[in-house]
Structure 1
Amino acid sequence: MTKAQRIAAAWANLPAPELADQVRLLVKARDAASRGVWSAVREDPVIAARVRGALAGLKAEYRGHRDEAMWLVWIAHVQQQLAVPATAPAPVVETPVEDVTPEPAAAEWAPSQEPATPRPPSDAPAVLFQEPLSSSK
Structure 2
Amino acid sequence: MAIGPSAVERWLDLSTEELRAQVKQLVAARLPGDHSVWQAIRRHPALVPRIRGVLSGLAASAAGSKDEAMQKVWISKARSALDQEYVAPVKAARKPVVKEEPVPEPEPVIELKEPEPQQKQPHKAIPTMLFQEPS
* Structure whose alpha-carbon radius of gyration is higher: 2
| Letter matched to residue 15 of structure 1 | S
Report the identity percentage.
37
Runs of 4+ in 1 over 3 A off after TM superposition: none
TM-score, normalised via structure 1 length: 0.55
Partner of 1:18: 18
1:79 maps onto 2:79 in alignment: yes
* Matched residue, 1:92: none
With the length of structure 2 as denominator, give the TM-score of the two structures. 0.56
Other-structure match for 1:69: 69
2:13 aligned counterpart, secondary structure: coil
Q: Does 1:7 align with 2:10?
A: no
> Aligned ranges for residues 32-111 of structure 1 at < 5 Å?
35-85=35-85
Where structure 2 has 5 or more consecutive residues not aligned to the other structure, the ranges are 88-135
Output the CA distance in 2 between the equivalents of 1:40 and 1:27: 15
Contact 1:8–1:47 (8 Å) recurs in 2: no
1:43, CA displacement in angstroms? 1.4
Deviation at 1:30, TM superposition (A): 1.6
RMSD value over aligned CA atoms? 2.3
SS of equivalent residue, structure 1 residue 66:
coil
- 1:74-122, CA deviations, whole angstroms, 9 ceiling, x for partnerless residues? 00001001014299xxxxxxxxxxxxxxxxxxxxxxxxxxxxxxxxxxx
Q: How many residues align?
A: 84
| Greater helix content | 1
